[in-house]
Amino acid sequence: MSQSLSRSPLPRTTSSQVPDVELQGLLKTFGPDVAVKGLDLTISKGEFFSILGPSGCGKTTTLRMIAGFDDPTDGALLIQGQSMAQVPAHRRPVNTVFQNYALFDHMSAWDNVAFGLRVKRVGKGEVRSHVGEALKLVRMEGFAQKYPKQLSGGQRQRIALARALVNRPAVMLLDEPLGALDLKLRKQMQLELANLHQRLGITFIMVTHDQEEALSLSDRIAVMRDGQIEQVGSPSEIYEQPQTAFVADFIGETNLFSGQVHANGSGLPQVATPSGLQIQVAESLTHGPVDVSIRPEKIDLSPQAPIRADNCFQGLVRHTMYLGTHVHCVVELTTGDRLMVLQPNQAKHLPDSKMPVYVSWAAADCRALVT
């Protein structure tokens, strides 16, 4: 009897365990163009790890090198402690799920899932058992005889997942796996992916440009830019403690101000912007240039000046957008600077255009990013 695909989650890697994936100075060039610039990365056993970044940053090229579809120009790639330098794609303990599903239109869902096992000349009984388990795992056992054209986008994606899982890879590679789905179905499939990862306990590595998707699914995230990693951390670390202005701006929305650090009488460092804003921050800073990030949801908006606030500025509401659960406002300060403010929807009247308001936030809610 074959071992079931569904099993308890594996424990996270400890210092005595070998990581599932290691990139050591991984470099990839295409002629004179450098796509990936010497990446160093360790991905632990059982992690859901996302590589996030804008188009052209090198994230898909990195995934293709892990999969074996592209060879590195330099550096080392190890999977479960073994070098993949001479290992072709079909012999690596990984499987890839693509954005376009890559299903065979002339094959039924069952045959699509069974294809890899048949190539490996697995016995008929074992194929029947493994395919049945894989289809059940993605809740598609009732669609086994349907062809891809008879399935919805979400159903085709489930079949693609089953086809990847049936070979029982050590690492699942997901290349923008939900990019072709509409918003509602995308949300549903995000939950499906999270449940699958929890049930299987294997390592998932996902490439995406969708910040919300990466934040909601990942144990850790690597943010890439121009072939390099800007920051690696947990979703909360990436969002709450960005290390660069690029990460702060790319992950969610933020208000960024550039200025010079000065001391003031309160003991808190103060950042003076060219427009005249004096922003107090809680971090210990030396004199010099700095970028300051303030998330829109950290800012309070009120018609009267608050009794006490580290940072308080007057302005006019210039634009209001109703988002259902929240209200998004653009406030123009007396200095001419514009701020994005995100307020919970409390069933009150939306702020009127040109309405005088005060915006305020705590010094602790500022993130200083040294330039």
d(CA 161, CA 95) in angstroms, rounded, equals 9
275 neighbors 255 (Cβ within 8 angstroms):
no
Examine the pLDDT at 7 and tell me if it is beyond 50: no
Residue 1's pLDDT is what? 34
The pTM of the full predicted model, rounded to 2 decimals, is 0.87
**Span 274-282, mean pLDDT?**
92
Residue 11's pLDDT is what? 40
Residue 181's pLDDT is what? 78
Residue 13's pLDDT is what? 42
Examine the pLDDT at 12 and tell me if it is beyond 50: no
Residue 266's pLDDT is what? 61
Residue 264's pLDDT is what? 59
d(CA 98, CA 222) in angstroms, rounded, equals 20
Q: Which helix (H) or strand (E) holds 46?
A: none
Which pLDDT band holds residue 88 (cuts at 50, 70, 90)? very high
| Type of residue numbered 270 | Q
More confident position, 248 or 12 = 248
Residue range 287-331, pLDDT digits in tens: 788 999 999 999 999 888 888 889 999 999 999 998 888 889 999
Residue range 71-82, pLDDT digits in tens: 999 999 999 999
**Span 66-72, mean pLDDT?**
96
d(CA 54, CA 210) in angstroms, rounded, equals 9
Tokens of 208: 């995406």
Residue 192's pLDDT is what? 84
Task: Tell me the three state secondary structure of residue 88.
Answer: coil
Sheet hosting strand 21-30, strand order edge to edge: 33-43, 21-30, 74-79, 82-83
Residue 10's pLDDT is what? 36
Residue range 339-356, pLDDT digits in tens: 999 988 876 667 777 789
| Type of residue numbered 32 | P
Residue range 190-237, pLDDT digits in tens: 888 898 899 889 999 999 988 999 999 999 999 999 999 999 999 999
Sheet hosting strand 269-272, strand order edge to edge: 278-280, 269-272, 255-263, 288-294, 366-370
d(CA 47, CA 50) in angstroms, rounded, equals 9
Q: What are phi and psi of 175, to 5 degrees?
A: -100, 100
Question: Which contacts qualify for 210-218: CB closer than 8 Å, 24 or more apart?
Answer: 210/178, 210/179, 211/52, 211/250, 211/251, 211/252, 213/50, 213/178, 213/186, 214/50, 214/52, 215/239, 215/251, 215/252, 216/190, 217/48, 217/50, 217/190, 217/193, 218/48, 218/49, 218/50
Residue 269's pLDDT is what? 84
